[in-house]
Amino acid sequence: MSAACRLMGVSRPTWYRRRTPPAGKAAPVPQKERAQPATLTGQERARIEAFLTDEQYADLSVSQVFYRALDQGVYIASESSWHRVARARKLNGDRRVMATHKPAVIPELCASRPNQVWSWDITVLRSVDRGRNFRLYVILDVFSRYVVGWRLEPGEGTLEAIDMITGALAREQAKPEVLHADRGSVMTSTGMSEYLAGLGIIQSHSRPRVSNDNPFSEAQFKTMKYDLDYPRQFTDIEHAREWTTGFINAYNTEHRHSGIGYYTPESVHDGTWPVFQKRRQAALDAAWAAHPHRHHQRPRAHTVHTESWINNPQKRQAAN
């Protein structure tokens, strides 16, 4: 056998193991499927649940119920076991009877042309003086991302916001169908609601504590505050107004926005973006003709989306 193994280049233990392989081991039983000797019986769980759902204990925490039962000479299981039973039956947390509210409606807004849907918000600009900041109000056209109106004030106020909207309507010579905002005190004020109702503009709001429901305004503020020239603190309100004027002019007329095919908001808002698309396509065609081997396929200039959505229902359904 030793000589044969040497000729085959196999060790003797390997040969014997292959001839008589060891018996296979059974697959291990997962911990949650193993029989636990300390597991509570169904009757014990039912007794714990009866204590937790008893009307006299409805407003008490699980620990309070456990020790009150213990004071009565009743011990079913450890306190941690009571908590596990409560979690399984969703009887933990605040067990008092609380007021219930209908779930907030998800705003679903679609803009297929400029000045159809506007969104607006207010952000804080910091001052060099501690405790004295400024408030920047900005209205954005959802389709083109064009800033149609803005205002910088020492604080927030409904009258200032109404004045800003009035000015934007006059400059645009158009009225949006919907004005979307979050649930700030100015946005939800009675004065604002009456003003928009008088103009026939539908008022739309984000869900509470859901910043993604106002994505375009939030993104515009981030672009502004991540600008390389953005001062972290402004010396006074005139400094803030001067800087904001320059930024918004550049944002509207020079910034190539990724959400609209890297065209400027102004060109999409006034409908001149196809001129720039043709120029881009001519440059790409020349590059293709000169060096076709450098491209996997013929390059195409971006086009502008046909619709801009806030919470597109089709995308939400696909994500779910």
- Tens digits of residue pLDDT in 22-32: 877 788 888 87
d(CA 15, CA 33): 39
Vertex 152 angle, CA 228 and 120, to 5°: 85
Mean pLDDT for 208-230 is 93
pLDDT tens, position by position, 2-43? 888 888 888 888 888 888 888 777 888 888 788 778 788 889
215 neighbors 106 (Cβ within 8 angstroms)? no
pTM over cut 0.85? no
Query: Mind listing the pLDDT tens digit for each residue in 135-181?
Result: 999 999 999 999 999 999 999 999 999 999 999 999 999 999 999 99
154 conformational bin, left if phi > 0, alpha if psi -120 to 50, beta if neither: alpha
Mean pLDDT of the chain: 91
Tokens of 70: 């213990």
